[in-house]
Amino acid sequence: MKGKWSGLIIGGLLAGCTATQPAGKVAFAPAGDGGGEKQFSAPTAATFPARAPAIIAASAILVDADTGEVLYEKSPDLRLPAASTQKLLTALLVAESGHLARPVSLRGIDLLVDGTKARLQIGEGYARGELLEALLLQSANDAALALARDNAGSVSAFAARMNRRARECGALHSRFLNPHGLDAAGQFTTARDLARIARAAYRNPILAQIFSREAADLADLHGHLKPLWNTNELVYRSPMYTGMKPGYTAQAGKCLVASIRYQGRLAILVQLRGAPNSIYDDAERVFSWALHSPYAGRNLSFPSAGFALR
């Protein structure tokens, strides 16, 4: 355990995000999370570009993860619940805090949570890094609570850190109340904000490695193993898909943050309030269009003028 996670230095590897204020006619300022971002006015149509494929999700955005350029969007500024996709922000905070070999002991309060779990037991101890894998691969809500308590002392204190870190990434139109994404009154984000957070998360090398795994073993401090399987169906479809995070709740519907690497370029797609039976196929359709269509705002194969993640 100690050998697996010790020596992983996270601090300094992620460029800091700096929130900026809107200026002029720009709908939103750039995230400040990467170089080369520019400001452009928001398109008036619900979907941009007009010849982009139709998808079921109520809100979506596809961005070049390196430059922040927007390739595609559909009503990306709707305030919606994000389900477990907001675990990307939870993971970012945990990874940035470092000390991933540090043990975390489970408490009863961590296990009294609904939804998907890693079936952790009271008194079991895990390295932070092990719980991070359970959080991202199996979408374990019990791991989310344990990590939040370990990081900040309580869920409310951790939520405050989530909102502060989100603002640093330029996610100015979000409010997070818990580390796992279960439905909560007054909790919301936007596809555009989540894309900003996802870009920051992917720039963390430890998280990027976890996102793309199909499976891992969750090991407690005594060496007992439990299998973890990635809940993101895309990673099983093609090695081009490099992971990130799906989620589902009754209020949020099916949500998905997905990434693809092609010829050295990385793109991130966010879909909110989609349908379980179509969201992965819709993701493949949008990615394929961005790779091959001359009408894409910035074709992934052939760079052209685009407009930036504002």
Task: Report pLDDT for 81.
Answer: 98
Question: What is the span of the domain harbouring residue 101?
Answer: 2-11+18-308
CATH number at residue 292: 3.40.710.10
Which one-letter amino acid corresponds to residue 288?
S
The overall pTM is greater than 0.85: no
Task: Report pLDDT for 9.
Answer: 34
The pLDDT tens digits of the residues spanning 237-251 come to 999 999 999 999 999
73: helix, coil or strand? Answer: strand
Contact call for residues 65 and 202 (beta carbons, < 8 A):
yes
| pLDDT per residue rounded down to tens, the chain (310 residues) | 445 765 443 332 223 353 332 222 222 222 333 323 333 234 444 678 888 899 999 999 999 998 899 999 999 999 999 999 999 999 999 999 999 999 998 888 777 777 677 678 787 789 999 999 999 999 999 999 999 999 999 999 999 999 999 999 999 999 999 999 999 999 999 999 999 999 999 999 999 999 999 999 999 888 889 999 999 999 999 999 999 999 999 999 999 999 999 888 899 999 999 999 999 999 999 999 988 766 555 556 544 434 344 4
Task: Report pLDDT for 160.
Answer: 98
How far, in Å, are 129, 179, 191 from residue 187 at the CA level?
27, 11, 14
In the block, which residue shows the tokens 């793109």? 267
Task: Report pLDDT for 262.
Answer: 86
Domain count, the chain: 1
CA distance 97 to 21: 27
Instruction: Outline where DSSP puts E strands in the chain.
Output: 47-48, 59-64, 69-74, 103-105, 125-127, 215-219, 225-229, 241-249, 253-262, 265-274, 307-308
Q: What tokens appear for 165 in the block?
A: 């870190």
Contact call for residues 256 and 233 (beta carbons, < 8 A):
no
Task: Report pLDDT for 283.
Answer: 97
Calculate ∠ Cα 75-240-93, nearest 5°: 65
Q: At what angle do helices 128-137 and 141-152 cross, to 10 degrees?
A: 140
Task: Report pLDDT for 301.
Answer: 57
129 secondary structure, DSSP code: H
Residue count (the chain):
310
Task: Report pLDDT for 6.
Answer: 54
Task: Report pLDDT for 164.
Answer: 98
Task: Report pLDDT for 49.
Answer: 87
Task: Report pLDDT for 308.
Answer: 42
The pLDDT tens digits of the residues spanning 123-171 come to 778 999 999 999 999 999 999 999 999 999 999 999 999 999 999 999 9
